Amino acid sequence: MSRPLIRALNSIKWREAAMTYCYCPVCNAKRIIVRLHHNEIAVRCLTCRATSVTMSLVAVLRQLVPDLSSKEIYELSSRGPLVTFLNKNCKKLTCSEYFDAVASGDSYNGILCQDVQKLTFPDNSFDLCTSTEVFEHVPNDLAGFAEIRRVLRPGGTFLFTVPLFQSPATVERARLDSNQQIAHLLPAHYHGDPIREHQPVLVYRDYGKDIRQRLINQGFSTAKLLNPSSPIPWHYARAIITAVK
């Protein structure tokens, strides 16, 4: 048996496992969707492998940008169902990954590397920028938001997801000190990351209800939370943050 298959089988909690046949926004058709356990990233379309987070983002993208084929897009990851979808449906896709030891603008294993806090793209390069579950891992997210705004064309939109919490204000869990060393303000919390072979990635903050204001403060003209209009199975719809330059 292959290692990914063994990993998938091991991750199934059989009492929580479920299957349904319903609309997948990424496939734009009815598909078999499975749930391996009670977690949004354990919900997958069997055809395109999108999680409920990716399904939510694509559903909002379809609502907001019907003419995707005329758009130049920058996505802050280099593989997976969202990249496949964007590649197939937009005019031009630019992808990147972040690696600690690689300078912004360089390549690593054929993948463009970018630090979102200091992108190397010229101003006004893209119609849309997208990311899923990235900014909670960026030490200076405000610098990252400002950079995304800079590389967007006027009227361009940034669509992204981060885990959102009910607290009024964003809670910083860690920060970089003046020597660029990580200082923990709260117990360290990590997320897995497929591009780093599931190495844990530190969560710098838990975003609260002030996320829209954080974007406005970096110069975006509007910032909203939008819910997908098509239902996501088992009510795992994610609010998508959209900010317009």
Residue ranges in contact with Zn ion by CB under 5 A: 24, 26-27, 31, 45, 47-48
The answer to whether 116 and 138 are in contact (CB under 8 A) is yes
Nearest residue (CB) to Zn ion, 85 versus 145: 85
- The secondary structure of the chain in percent helix, strand, coil, rounded to multiples of 5, reads 25, 30, 40
The number of beta carbons lying within 10 Å of the beta carbon of residue 103 is 12
Beta bridge partners of 225: 241
Nearest residue (CB) to Zn ion, 148 versus 237: 237
Nearest residue (CB) to Zn ion, 24 versus 215: 24
Nearest residue (CB) to Zn ion, 47 versus 78: 47
Q: Name 109's Cβ contacts closer than 8 Å, sequence gap at least 6.
A: none
Here the tokens at position 146 are 């400002």
Residue facing Zn ion at closest CB distance: 45
How many angstroms separate the CA atoms of 36 and 29, rounded? 21
To Zn ion, the closest distance from the beta carbon of 27 in angstroms equals 3
